[in-house]
Chain A
Amino acid sequence: MSSTRVISVDFECRIPRKLEEALEALNEEGSQVLAGGTDLLNNIKINAVKPSRLVYVLGIPELEFISVEGGRLIVGAAALLSDIEHNRQVVSRFPALVEAINVIGGTQIRNMATLAGNLCNASPGADTPPILFVLDAEVEICWTNGGTGAQRSRLPVGGFFTGPKKTVLKQGQIVHSVSIPLPPEHSGAAFRRLARVSLDIAKINCAAYIERDGDTVHEARIALGSVAPTPVRAPTIEKALDGRRYGGGLFQEAAELVEEDIAPIDDVRSTAEYRRQIASLLVREALQEAWRRSGGKG
């Protein structure tokens, strides 16, 4: 039986001032990144993880930024969700990202939590992966081999998750930042979710992105959460929409194909049956809203 009264395991807590310092501290087996702690501390309390060392990354200047550079929005790993959702660039260009962030916890949680933490915790039901999937976001990973400075590599967010609570990160690697290409004209994105109550982890969530060419769908991307071991794209729907002209129940028809792309289960939040039943509804709504935001009529 778990008890969240006190943390009874001993661990060391490092508060580095430089990225390099943090990366070195993380190379040791048993070390783990502590960002906002809104997932990690719960997991330590219920004995789901037992790190011997926590390395606190909030406050590291190299990670604490939100910027627009080279046609991309780049969010550092130490940027707080509340900073992202109030950032002017984000608000004006990524309304759907703001929507996805806005449903996470309450204000107190968003004042602590990070986008990188939401990804690295790798919950199948996390709220930001679907929208990051459809916006073609990339994750920048960094690490040090000792003395050689920080090494970096980038990968699409779609390749980041390997299973429930699992990512590609190896010991010593951290997420440095998440970057998203600025959306082109005539594009739009939207986020939808259902939960038991307003303050909750999603029963199911979904994001859609559409690039419009006149009255046809030039490109569509759809992703869902809490319907498979990791957040997933919905390639069947995407294909069904490519190059199709809007109208005649297009979105409804395409959304019904969602069953092909998901494999939901029963859990404490909902049932596989219910998730299957409402997945297409959420996809349809997200597509409709993305279409509207892309400037499409109808």
Chain B
Amino acid sequence: MSDKTYYFLGKDFPRKEGRARVTGREVYPSDVVLPGMLYGKILRSPRPHARIKSIDFSGAQKLGAVVLAPNDTPQEFFNVRQVSVPRSTYKDWRILSDHVRQVGDPYAAVAAETEELAEQAAEAVQVEWELLPAYFSIEEAMAAEDNLIHDKVYLQDKEIPIQNNIACTREVTEGDVDKGFAEAEVIVENEFVTPRVYHCQVEPRGCTCRPEPDGGITVWPSTQALHNTRILLGQLFDIPLNKVNVIRITGGGHFGSGIHTNPVILITVALALKAGKPVKILQSREEDLYDHCRYPTRYTLKIGAKKDGTLTAGQMKAWVDIGSHHVQALAFLGVLAGWWHSLYRLPNMRYQGVAVYTNKAPTCAMQGYGAPQVTFGVETTMTILAEKLNLDPIELRANNYVGLGEIFWGQGPTIRSLIHSDGVKELLYTGAEKIGWDKRPDPKAQSGRLRRGIGVARGFHTSGTGAPVPGEVKDFTTVQVKVNEDGSIDILTALMDHGGGTLDAAAKLVAEEFGVPFDKVGISPADTRSTGYDVCTHATRGVYCGAGAVLDVAQDTKKILLDYASRILNAPADSLKTRPDEAENEGIIYVEGMPEKNITIREVAQTAMNNDWGTAISARSVRKVNCPPAYTTFFVEVEVDMETGMVRILRVVAGSDAGTVINPALAKGQLEGGFYRGAGMALLEDTDYDPKTGQLTNRGLLTDYKMLGAVDLPDPEKFEIFFAHTYEPTGPMGAKGIGEAALNPVPAAVAAAIHNATGIWFTKLPILPEDILRAVREERKRDGKKAPGKPQAVPER
């Protein structure tokens, strides 16, 4: 939050789409209904690993259903995620395959006039399966020599043989690690495990597609990536892109599950093309639970330091159980190294990552994209290190973090940019004061059943994936900004808003730039035929890269407008200023130092039209060449019941360095939401599989995918939020990102608070009451022979 004053930035306005949302008039993917539309239903494997021996659709056809078999779909290999450049893109997907690789893997689809009929038709399809051995752990999968989950995949267009179910590997080395460890005076090493969290976005993923008379298609998908979806559809179905129109509709939540083009979109399009009619498929919650989840990780982390707390070396070895398909695990392995490298200065580091296929749901990005996973281990290690060295954990962090003037890896080792703004110390010190850090309990001094603990963890997220030198990830946004004949303004871009207020932020920036009332800036409906490419809203790039692009183009348009105004006012364009006149609901252009010499934007636009000068309009693509870290720090206070292992969250102090805060209420909402999912990841959320059946132990039922509810979280008045006073010079009016940073340190902060209460470190998430109670009892049994505070790996549940 910078101290500058603005007309609109930093102030709260009702959301532009707020009225539609709260009155139920917003159209979400599930609301799309077209005349003559059929309802589709995906047939999903009941087996974790099998091949179709035979399939009989006659029962479904008797019911009048349109049926889609694997050989009705293009059998070309592709990757559903198109954010990475082609040379780094592994391809192991087909729209439908007769080789199913997990329970829930699609192998066919049907469409019928009603949803009920489609469901009955799906049940009438008979399949004979050839069962294959299935693998549910990394060890089992890597031990396999044949009957692999994938025999071959493609890297760009090169065929790659798969061995031991290893999808890909990645290594990153900086400096001389052996020398670094030799210099270390203390070394801390632990294994960390993070869960397979399900996105649980409010609306399950779905799509509607209408085949057009000209051979084209119009598509209403749930997606975060309008243009990537279009490009993939054009390529797979061999339709020229000028006939593929993907419409932006408000998503019912994503959390990263829509960065890739979800299989349901591809299947819907294939069905619609086969049926020659519009088809809609909305996944059930159960299908959705088998469709995507967060990357789980298991890694050893070793960090060496001198007695004064200077870090000398680090080593990380990570295994990622990616499930049945590659949603770009190579990029994920890269960011694990990148987040780690950018948390604390490590002159020498060695990283090895291995991604392994298993017969489970495919893993993909979810809020934080590897950062919550890595931050958990790194932040835990930093506190253990501080305790070993008798240093204040806050000071150890303040002395070692990667900050102002240093190089930051925004999206793995290929995206590097210089840090221009840094509120880390303010976040640490202000937060410490607010939570009462100096008065935090001493775990060894606590007795009794209920024990209190305070924990801290910090982290960051990149604001987008831009850098001076392009790397493996695409990042640009195309925008058009035009001034209407009444002085109002339209923004046209394929940028998506996932509910965080990205497009509102863009509108505010434009209102600020033009000096027009916020209400006069509109966001035009967008589709891929009328907009240029936008990579997608991910990587916390919405405000910094996306809305930043909107601001840049708005400035182009403003130049044209001021040129028109200068002709009318007879004053040079660079002497002209703008301001909003809220009473008149107009934007005013005036000559600097001569406020009486002014004209409304409306009059300028009308004069320009009536004199045939044209419209003030411009459009172009903008790439940001930085990706500043948006820092956050969380302080959490918990109470642990030593008899039940139950953890209650008493208090939270969340600090965010987002640069200029454009939408304060929405930014706070991000921090609250990030905490909520981060605490869920720490204490509760996971998806386990039953190796006997290959099914989720919750059977895909939300009843047994538990998330924290409002009553499980601290009261709003016990949730304090503050913003660092920073200004990001490369950002739109000083802004950077927030969304994923709002979650990244949370699991680590919760684990640290539990440690402060119990004296026990938990290195496996989620930390269930069962785990806590078991550890507490073991600790008691050991009768204090070992020093409390020793890291304790929790055995498998």
Contact = CB atoms under 8 A, between A and B. Distances in A.
Nearest to B121: A8
B287 A3 contact: yes
Contacts of B290: 1
B120 interface: yes
B116 A6 contact: yes
A2 B286 CA distance: 7
Given A8-B120, A271-B770, A274-B769, A200 B706 contact: yes
Interface residues of B, number: 40
A270 B770 contact: yes
B44 A274 contact: no
A52 to B, nearest CB: 15
A196 B703 CA distance: 11
A278 to B, nearest CB: 6
Interface stretch (B208-216, B694-702, B783-791): B694-702
Nearest to B706: A196
Given A5-B282, A8-B123, A273 B644 contact: no
Contacts of A162: none
Interface in A121-154: none
A8 B116 CA distance: 5
Contacts of B44: 1
A208 to B, nearest CB: 17
Interface string B84-121: 00000000000000000001100000000001100110
A1 B773 contact: no
Interface string B35-67: 000000000101000000000000000000000
Contact of A1 (B282, B697, B700, B777): B700
Contacts of B770: 270-271, 273-274
Interface stretch (B239-247, B364-372, B538-546, B707-715): B707-715
Contacts of B711: 198-199
Contacts of B643: 278, 281
Interface in B273-318: 282, 284-287, 290
Interface in A255-297: 268-271, 273-274, 277-278, 281
- The A contact surface, by secondary structure, is loop
Interface residues of A, number: 26
A171 interface: no
Contacts of A46: 699, 701
Nearest to B644: A278
A269 B709 CA distance: 16
Contacts of A281: 643-644
A270 B688 CA distance: 13
B701 A2 contact: yes
B646 interface: yes
Contact of A5 (B115, B697, B706): B115
A111 interface: no
Contacts of A273: 770, 774
A2 B119 contact: no
A2 B290 CA distance: 11
B704 interface: yes
A3 B697 CA distance: 15
Contacts of B282: 5
A194 B286 contact: no
A274 B285 CA distance: 30
Contacts of A8: 116, 119-120, 123
A197 B708 contact: yes
A197 B104 contact: no
Contact of A198 (B46, B701, B712): B712
A273 B777 CA distance: 12
B119 A268 contact: no
Contacts of A200: 706
B782 interface: no
Nearest to A199: B709
Contact of B115 (A4, A6, A269): A6
Given A197-B707, A199-B711, 6 more contacts: A1-B44, A2-B701, A3-B287, A7-B116, A194-B644, A201-B703
Interface of A: 1-8, 42, 46, 194, 196-201, 268-271, 273-274, 277-278, 281
25 contacts: A1-B46, A1-B103, A1-B104, A1-B290, A3-B286, A4-B285, A4-B701, A5-B119, A5-B284, A7-B116, A8-B116, A8-B119, A46-B699, A46-B701, A194-B646, A196-B684, A197-B684, A197-B708, A198-B709, A198-B712, A200-B706, A268-B698, A271-B770, A274-B774, A281-B643
6 tightest Cβ-Cβ pairs between the two chains A and B: A8-B119, A3-B284, A5-B284, A274-B770, A196-B706, A198-B711
Interface of B: 44, 46, 103-104, 115-116, 119-120, 123, 282, 284-287, 290, 643-646, 684, 695, 697-701, 703-704, 706-709, 711-712, 769-770, 773-774, 777, 797
